[in-house]
Amino acid sequence: TPRPFNQLPGDWKAGWFNLYRFWQEGGLHNLHHIMARKFQQFGPIYRDKLGVYESVNIITPRDAATLFQAEGTLPERFSVPPWVAYRDYRNKPYGVLLKKGEAWRSDRLMLNKEVLSPQVVEGFVPLLNQVGEDFIRRARAQVGKSGREYWTADFTHELFRFALESVCHVLYGERLGLLQDFVDPEAQRFIDAVTLMFHTTSPMLYLPPALLRHLNAKTWRDHVWAWDAIFSQADKCIHNVYRDLRLQHKSTTEYMGILCSLIMQDKLPLDDIKASVTEMMAGGVDTTSMTLQWAMFELARAPGVQEQLRAEVLAAKREAAGDRVKMLKTIRLLKAAIKETLRLHPVAVTLQRYTTQEVILQDYRIPPKTLVQVGLYAMGRDPEVFPKPEQFIPQRWLGADPKHFKGLGFGFGPRQCLGRRIAELEMQIFLMQILENFKIETMRAVEVGTKFDLILIPDKPIYLTLRPL
């Protein structure tokens, strides 16, 4: 018979002490390492408590499968307290990110049709392709300016602008012009606000929202400033589209973007549309840009793999006569390389679900309403799950071994990442274009680690070189 819940291993009895030690050890930026260490210490399941939040942590694909297969139709994840506290403080509506129950489900089903469904998603390809082409043009201009045959830089900010330009093109059907020499200071402010919002979330992650609202600490004030900037900029973009639509400045023949479709469908109240579109605009900056940066870094360190990908892309291009939609159907290795990047460098350190019924994990009975976390970072680097985990081997995703509940970078099921298809297409198209035009290089000796800043990011700047082929 399965073992009782209270026999789970772990040092969960001292929640506040844990939180204190966490601060002391600089754990704030090392959540992923601390989790990996606890799996080493306690085995594949442990119980934990930080501040007021208790959780059960798992690492095997098998347990992840058990958890997700029992999640039901209204899955709930850990809802980030400072994000909730901000919306309550400013009286802002929740979007799908923070909604629960039926309210979440009805919004999410409407959004899925416009953001995830295969027919609609195909329409994003030309929009994302255009932004990618501008990045290539800009990179060539930078090579020209450098007076050398290449462009070496820390691409963080270039990629932030690329990512925001991309997500806004599909959301609003309009270009912001972030890949030109002159960058609108308001758009730049938005980018900085999203980074600051993530950065100020992590120190407040395990404090209860009620406490947060009474806190007048600098972190909270910065956090409020950041969300204010995010909401006001998104509001301007949304308002512009709304106005153009009413004045019929928009042609109705071509695809006009996600927001237009949502407004014209008229099935969601405008406030709910605005809340979720704002979340998508903010969610579309650091996520794809950091993943692309890691992907280029890994490809630079594995020139053999890079050549294989380039060969695949060039062959696909010849076969499809340059048609991107057709190309996207044949670039299996490139898609695997993105999965491999997210294995080593997941954006989310964990996936979480509240159980709704009893589940058995590692032969322990987990009661309903327990927060269970899948240690995504730890799983990606566990040699039991991925042999030679430290090596970047996209082919492992194409082989015969089972991939069951291993590729979880975007989460799972009805609550998985809403921006998944946008993110995947954006990254596939970007990498195709880079591989067609440039060789990616880096100084091989430099080791780059990972830092938890709510999302996982590089712990030092990554310098990459783009060299025209």
410 touching ligand HEM, by CB under 6 A: yes
The answer to whether residue 283 forms part of the interface with ligand 2DC (CB under 6 A) is yes
At which residue do the structure tokens 């900029």 appear?
Answer: 233
Binds 256, which of ligand 2DC, ligand HEM, none (CB < 5 to 8 A, cut-off by type)? none
Kindly tell me which residue out of 207, 348, 366, 457 binds ligand 2DC, with binding defined by CB under 6 A: 348
Interaction partner, residue 350 (ligand 2DC, ligand HEM, none; CB < 5-8 Å by kind): ligand 2DC
Name the binder of 282 from ligand 2DC, ligand HEM, none, CB < 5-8 A by kind: ligand 2DC
The rounded distance, in Å, linking the Cα atoms of 469 and 112 is 39
425 binds ligand HEM (CB under 6 A): no
Q: Which residues between 36 and 95 bind ligand 2DC (CB under 6 A)?
A: 77-78, 80
Query: How many angstroms separate the CA atoms of 4 and 2, rounded?
Result: 7
In this complex, which beta carbon is closest to ligand 2DC, that of residue 138 or of residue 161? 161
Q: In terms of CB distance, is 18 or 433 closer to ligand HEM?
A: 433
Choices 178-186, 212-220, 281-289, 320-328; region in contact with ligand HEM by CB under 6 A: 281-289
Distance set, CA 417 to CA 1, 277, 347, 349 (Å): 36, 14, 11, 14
Q: In 3D, which of 332, 345, 347, 335 has the Cα closest to residue 301?
A: 345
Nearer to ligand 2DC, 410 or 438 (CB): 410
Neighbours of 378 (CB within 10 A): 25
Q: From the CB of residue 221, how many other CB atoms can be counted at a distance below 10 Å?
A: 12
Site string for ligand HEM, 329-368 (x = CB under 6 A): -------------x----xx--x-----------------
For 36, 184, 292, the CA distances from 239, given in Å and listed in that order, are 45, 18, 30
Whether 291 contacts 346, CB under 8 Å: no
Q: Are 163 and 285 in contact (CB under 8 A)?
A: yes
Measure the CA–CA gap between 165 and 30, rounded to whole angstroms: 31
Q: Are 168 and 130 in contact (CB under 8 A)?
A: no
Residue numbers of the site for ligand HEM (CB under 6 A)?
77, 96-97, 108, 167, 279-280, 283-284, 287-288, 291, 342, 347-348, 351, 409-412, 415-419, 422-423
Residue numbers of the site for ligand 2DC (CB under 6 A)?
77-78, 80, 97, 205, 279, 282-283, 287, 347-350, 352, 454-455
